[in-house]
Structure formats: C-alpha cells, structure tokens
Amino acid sequence: MNDVFFVQRRWLLIVLVSFFAPLNADSIPQFQMKDQYGQSYSDTSVKGKPIVLMGCFLRDVEICRKQGRKLYWKMQNLLWKESNKVNFLMYLDLKESNKIVEEYIEESKHKQYETILLDRKGQLTNGLTRGEVYIRIYNKSGKLLSSIYKSEIEETLIQEVYEILKKEI
C-alpha cells in the first residue's frame, strides 16, 4: 500500500514540476505573425542570423517607435556593411487593438515606416512591461544572449548591443 502511495505522489510531483516549469526562456519564443505590410515572420524564419527583438504594449507605441528607431539606426551606422547580417524585429502587442488603430495601420501601409510585427494573439506578450521597451538579443541559433527593459536608450546601451552583435556576426 505504501509503495502505491509513494508512486502516486512521485507521479503527481513529476506532473506538477513539468506543468509549472518555465518554457525554454533561454530560446527565442515560438511565434508566427505578419508585419503591417503583410509579410510573414516566424521564430524559425529569423534564425540563422543574430536577432534583436524589441517589443512593447500598444499604449507604449511612441516609446517603442522612438527608442526602436534610435537603436536600429545607430546599429545600421555602427555595423555598416554587416548590418544585413542581423535581424532587427520590432513588435507591438495588438491584443487591445481597436478600429482607430486598425485604420492607422491600414493607412500606414503606403508609407516607408520600419517593419513592425503585429502581435494580434499575444505570442510575444510574455515579459512586456508598461512604459518600457523589452529588448532581447538572440544568437544565430535562437539562444538568448541579453534581455533588457528600457524607457530610454542611452549611448552605453547602444555600445553594449553593438559589442554583443559584433561577436555574433
């Protein structure tokens, strides 16, 4: 009788640990979504190059756009000819989208804005913080190298990101 009880407790413990164990947080999250131009992206399609993944909530779109552009254009200048060897992806959590936002997205398709992945299902929402940009850097195979939260990107952070990417190219 004790053996049966011990086996049941052990089985329950294994099930609970596997259920509550975090998903592989050291790897790029699984996702599949489109940008505002209709181009499809997924975790598997962006592997093979270092990945800079930046995201924010819909209400923080101005912070995300401003800081994302700053980091992106600084990296384009610092990496120069090697900038095409890095995937820069910005995403926006659109679970709280509304008609006005959707109209703006539709109208902006004709403008030359940077690509923004539209996370309509919340696939990349885990880890986002209100008022900050969530920046993650992954190596070519999708392993997490750095994870940072910022409301403003300073020159020291730009230099840190550059050093990480330079090692990975």
pLDDT tens for residues 95-152? 988 898 888 888 878 877 788 899 999 999 999 999 999 999 999 999 999 999 999 9
pLDDT at residue number 142:
96
Segment 30-46 shows an average pLDDT of: 95
SS3 19: helix
Give the DSSP letter of residue 143: B
The reported pTM is 0.80
Burial classification of residue 50, based on how many CB atoms lie within 10 Å of its CB (0-12 exposed, 13-18 middle, 19 or more buried):
buried
What is 36-98 written as a DSSP string? TTS-EEEHHHHTTS-EEEEEEEGGGHHHHHHHHHHHHHHHHHHHGGGGGGSEEEEEEE-TT--
Place of tokens 């996702």: 31
CA distances from 127 to 55, 56, 77, 134 (A): 9, 9, 29, 7
Which residue would you say has higher pLDDT here, 144 or 64? 144
